[in-house]
């Protein structure tokens, strides 16, 4: 099987994960998405819907990657004209990418443009490795920085936004990040405003078509995976007033862009909010459900992946994925601690530790299995409220070797 076909299968498998983990487990409808609109200067909330619900960030991740690179530039650890190597790992990233060959030396400023304007995954990983030595170390630093900025529900596992079930965010956290970019590194904001950049005498247009077409729009980032739907952070300025908006989970890029336009039009049509208006900080910190919704679409067919799920019942019922660790002992210790924390929620669940497939070095995933749907949802919500990672997995995917958490 080719690498591309294997990756497509993984995306399809991810798109099968059930969204039905809200407080009401009988809820079957897919959500309309999450949105948040704020005043850039005051952080006053103009509109909010599912703003603290967990979501997959997709390539909105690259806004944080850029933030980390800008810090390295400010600290003198990198320079814009510095050439950094493209590793085999960076060159091997899935599309979208520029096709940078392993072993090449590429300037930091070109990698930044490629990552921000064209959403190139190979450029993002090359920058991550230049800053931290490895993408894994960089992702750890990203999450640490997220906490420092007040992004309480965001976890980063890679620099690009390619699917990882542990990499999650909220519309609130993305708005915090966008505002931090504007306030901390205004000298670099023009990179998010570029409509194209040049590479090998060829113009490479931005992926942010909404920015190009909306009057007053001047920045930020798009994102898409089968798990996230179509995401967008947008910013626009009119008459000295700047608005930041986040749209997560659009069914198509057109639907996403139309919703962003509607949100921005409403924001600019309304007067500036009063001083006592609610701000980002007043939004609830607890997510409204345990795991991100997953939005299947026409290009993310899910039927083949469902058919691959084994039926021999090796891992029964619903399962909680509690994280992956370097040893079985670590995994078992996490299970033991989490079961203690969950006693007030449910006493059900059997411990299980499985070796992750196709992972070098070997990692071991900690699970609680044999739960019903309601207990799985409530347990994950409780663990998230304590600051722990948790992903609830339905029976059809618990034993499926092609799901991303495996």
pLDDT digits (tens, 9 = 90+) for 71-81: 999 999 999 99
Write the Ramachandran bin of 150: left for phi over 0, alpha for psi from -120 to 50, otherwise beta: left
For CATH 3.40.710.10, the residue range(s) in the chain are 34-64+137-282
- Reduce the DSSP state of residue 35 to 3 states and report it: strand
Average pLDDT over all residues of the chain? 82
CA-to-CA dists, residue 169 to 293, 329, 341, angstroms: 12, 29, 23
Answer whether residue 110 shows pLDDT above 90: yes
Band of pLDDT at residue 405, cut at 50, 70 and 90: low
When pLDDT is averaged across residues 210-220 and rounded to a whole number, the result is 93
What span, in angstroms and rounded, lies between the C-alpha atoms of 314 and 319? 12
Residue ranges matching CATH 3.30.70.1070 in the chain: 302-398
- Give the tens place of pLDDT for each residue, 312-334: 447 888 888 888 787 888 888 88
Q: Between 59 and 100, name the one with better pLDDT.
A: 59
pLDDT over threshold 70, residue 102: yes
Active site residue 18: no
| Catalytic entry in 62, 145, 172, 221 | 62
Is 385 known to be catalytic?
no
* Whole-angstrom distance, CA of residue 364 vs CA of residue 324: 5
Q: Is the confidence at residue 302, as pLDDT, over 60?
A: no
Q: Could you tell me how many residues make up the chain?
A: 406
- pLDDT class of 395 with cuts at 50, 70, 90: confident
Highest mean predicted confidence (pLDDT) among 8-22, 51-65, 216-230, 291-305: 51-65
pLDDT at 290: 52
Write the pLDDT tens digit of every residue in 144-183: 999 999 999 999 999 999 988 889 999 999 999 999 999 9
Residues 87-122 as b/e (b if ≥16 CB within 10 A, e otherwise) read: beebbebbebbbebeeeeebebebbbbbbbbbbbbb
94 labelled catalytic: no
Residue pair 219/192 in contact (Cβ under 8 Å)? The answer is yes
Residue 276 — pLDDT band, cuts 50, 70, 90?
Answer: low
216, with CB counted inside 10 A (0-12, 13-18, 19+), is middle
Report which of 294, 225, 283 is spatially closest to residue 21, judged by C-alpha positions: 294
Q: Which two tokens stand for residue 285?
A: 């910190």
Catalytic residue selected from 48, 59, 87, 160:
59
What pLDDT score does 289 carry?
A: 55
Judged against a pLDDT cut of 60, whether residue 27 lies above it is answered with no
Assign 357 a pLDDT band (cuts: 50, 70, 90): low
CATH fold of 34-64+137-282: Beta-lactamase (3.40.710)
Cα–Cα distance, 163 to 170 (Å, whole number):
16
- Is the pLDDT reported for residue 366 higher than 50? yes
Give the DSSP letter of residue 154.
Answer: -
Expressed in angstroms, the distance from the first to the final Cα of the chain is 18
Q: How many Å is the maximal CA-CA distance in the chain? A: 64
Per annotation, catalytic residue among 48, 119, 132, 324: 119
What residues contact residue 7 under an 8 Å CB cut-off, 6+ apart?
Answer: 94
| Structure tokens given for 270 | 């309304």
**Dist. CA 387–CA 286, nearest whole Å:** 10
Write down the pTM of the prediction. Answer: 0.69
CATH superfamily of 302-398: Sporulation related repeat (3.30.70.1070)
Q: Which of 19-23, 27-31, 241-245, 291-295 has the lowest mean pLDDT?
A: 19-23
pLDDT at 287: 58
Say what percent of the chain tops pLDDT 70.
81
């Amino acid at each position: 099987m080719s690498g591309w076909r294997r990756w497509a299968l993984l995306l399809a498998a991810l798109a099968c994960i059930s969204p039905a983990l809200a407080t009401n487990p009988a809820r079957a409808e897919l959500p309309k998405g999450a949105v948040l609109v704020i005043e850039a200067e005051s952080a006053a909330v103009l509109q909010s819907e599912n703003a603290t619900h967990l979501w997959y960030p997709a390539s909105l991740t690259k806004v944080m990657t850029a933030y980390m690179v800008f810090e390295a530039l400010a600290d003198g650890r990198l320079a814009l004209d510095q050439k950094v190597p493209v590793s085999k790992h960076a060159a091997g990233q899935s599309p979208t990418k520029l096709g940078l060959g392993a072993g090449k030396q590429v300037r930091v400023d070109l990698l930044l443009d490629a990552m921000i304007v064209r959403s190139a995954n190979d450029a993002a990983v090359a920058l991550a490795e230049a800053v931290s030595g490895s993408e894994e170390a960089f992702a750890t630093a990203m999450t640490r920085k997220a906490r420092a900025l007040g992004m309480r529900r965001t976890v980063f596992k890679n620099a690009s936004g390619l699917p990882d079930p542990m990499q999650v965010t909220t519309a609130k956290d993305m708005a915090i990040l966008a505002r931090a970019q504007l306030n901390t590194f205004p000298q670099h904001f023009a990179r998010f405003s570029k409509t194209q950049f040049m590479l090998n005498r060829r113009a490479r247009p931005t992926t942010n078509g909404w920015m190009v077409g909306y009057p007053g729009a001047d920045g930020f980032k798009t994102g898409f995976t089968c798990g996230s739907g179509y995401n967008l952070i947008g910013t626009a300025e009119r008459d000295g007033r700047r608005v930041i908006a986040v749209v997560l989970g659009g069914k198509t890029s057109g639907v996403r862009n139309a919703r962003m336009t509607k949100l921005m039009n409403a924001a600019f049509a309304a007067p500036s909010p009063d001083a006592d208006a609610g701000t980002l900080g007043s939004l609830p910190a607890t997510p409204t459900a345990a795991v991100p919704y997953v939005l299947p679409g026409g290009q993310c067919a899910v039927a083949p992946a469902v058919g691959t799920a084994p039926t021999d019942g090796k891992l029964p019922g619903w399962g909680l994925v509690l994280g992956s660790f370097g040893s079985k002992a670590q995994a078992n210790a996490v299970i033991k601690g989490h079961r203690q924390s969950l006693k007030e929620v449910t006493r059900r669940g059997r411990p299980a530790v499985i070796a992750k497939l196709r992972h070098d070095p070997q990692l071991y995933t900690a699970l609680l299995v044999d739960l019903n749907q309601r207990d799985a949802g409530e347990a994950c919500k409780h663990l998230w409220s304590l600051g722990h990672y948790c992903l609830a997995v339905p029976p059809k995917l618990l034993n499926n070797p092609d799901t991303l958490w495996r």
